[in-house]
Structure 1
Amino acid sequence: MGHRLIEDYLGRRARAYGGERVLLVDVVSPGSDETERMAELRSLAATAGVLVLGTVVQHQPHPHPGTFFGRGKAGEIRDLGHSLQADTLVVGSEVSPAQARNLEEATGLKVVDRSQLILDIFAQRAGTKEAALAVELAQLEYLLPRLRGWGQALTDPGAGIGTSGPGETRLEQGRRAVRHRIQVVRHELRKAAQDRAIQQARRRRAGPPEVVLVGYTNSGKSTLFNRLTGSDVLVEDKLFATLDTRVRQVAWPTGEALVTDTVGFIRDLPHELVPAFQATLGAVRDAAALLLVLDVTAPAAEDHLRVVREVIADVLGPDRVPPPTLHVLNKLDLVSTQEQEARLAALEREAVPHVVVSAKTGGNMASLLSALDSILTVRSRG
Structure 2
Amino acid sequence: MLGVLRRKVACKANAASALEQGIRIVASRAFSSSGKEMTVRDALNSALDEEMSADPKVFIMGEEVGEYQGAYKISKGLLEKYGPDRVLDTPITEAGFAGIGVGAAYYGLRPVIEFMTFNFSMQAIDHIINSAAKSNYMSAGQISVPIVFRGPNGAAAGVGAQHSQCYAAWYGSCPGLKVLAPYSSEDARGLLKAAIRDPDPVVFLENELLYGESFPVSAEALDSSFCLPIGKAKIEREGKDVTITAFSKMVGYALQAAEILAKDGISAEVINLRSIRPLDRSTINASVRKTNRLVTVEEGFPQHGVGAEICASVLEDSFEYLDAAVERIAGADVPMPYAANLERMAVPQVDDIVRAAKRACYRSSSLAATA
| Pairwise same-fold verdict (TM > 0.5) | no
Q: What is the TM-score of this pair, normalised by structure 2?
A: 0.37
Q: What is the TM-score of this pair, normalised by structure 1?
A: 0.37
More helix per residue: 1 or 2? Answer: 1
In terms of Rg, which structure is larger? 1
- Between the two structures, name the one with larger relative contact order (CA 8 Å, sep ≥ 6): 2
